[in-house]
Amino acid sequence: MNLIDKQLRKIEEEKRLGLMTHVVVGYPSLETTEFLVRVMEEAGVDFIELQIPFSDPLADGPIIMRACEKALENGTRVKDAFELASRLSKQVKISLIFMAYYNTVFKYGTKKFCQDAKNVGISGLIIPDIPLEEEQQEYFIKHCKEAGLKNIRVISPVSTLERLKKNAEVASGFVYCTARQGITGVKEELDPNIATFLDKVKKLFKIPVAVGFGISKREHLNQLFNYADIAVIGSAIIDVINKSEQNEIGKNINQFVSKEIKNFLINTKIE
């Protein structure tokens, strides 16, 4: 069984929101990335999104974009992400998911990327800029299936009904919904119409729903209960890293995840 399916079953049995966190491979260093993944597993994270740094991350806001830039300046390459995943898959038991832009996958070779990702312990792929219309040329979904990877589709509040239906036909694992149109980043308030959008998504998709882009505090999580299955926290994690001294990054991430987020999720049950 794919680790994503296994963890989704656990989340459902515990009647709570799942939690996926996000790191940029190589930020602030490869060693720290590896350390932080272990810290977040210990803090109770369900899934960890390993972003392969890219020079033009179209869906990312300033916080993650700067992290990508720094990772690239550090010399981080695609092979480093695969080597990191290989090491981590032997150290942690939770799902590791690659997030990348399709140019990276295309240059690597789509079939080889999927197979190599599976071989190093990756459970699923989030590629936000690969349109369904390219499947007949790129065979991305086909290669995901062949490798046993979950093809996690990304949708937004401006996705048309037709597009939502098409994505629902091919998505696997869970579907990643952006809480708003635009780019990632910490926000004070979520879109007040998010519940309406998620309700529509729930009716169309037969798989769990994850929500990201701007999720950073308990008030946001409160808005997601009974509408989503997984909360995704990305920029807020990078923000904690940015505000921490090097020797306190692990402690601060653990405190943010376990005390501010995870304890709240465990103690607040979905009806």
DSSP H/E element including 224: helix 218-224
The tokens describing 54, both together, are: 């890219």
Burial class (CB in 10 A: 0-12, 13-18, 19+), 132: middle
Task: Show the CA angle centred on residue 70, arms to residues 122 and 41, nearest 5°.
Answer: 35
Q: Given CA atoms 22, 162, 172, 9 in this order, what sign does their dihedral have?
A: positive
User: Does residue 260 have an active-site annotation?
Assistant: no
Decide if 46 is catalytic: no
Tokens found for residue 129: 């800029």
> Among 34, 41, 60, 80, which one carries the catalytic annotation?
60
The C-alpha torsion from 193 through 197 and 200 to 202, rounded to 10°, is -110
- Of 49, 80, 116, 229, the active-site residue reads 49
Rg (CA), the chain: 17
Taking alpha carbons only, the member of 172, 220, 170, 169 closest to residue 198 is: 220
Instruction: Measure the N-to-C terminal CA separation of the chain; round to a whole number of Å.
Output: 27
Element (H, E) at 255: helix 249-255
**So which residues are the catalytic ones?**
49, 60
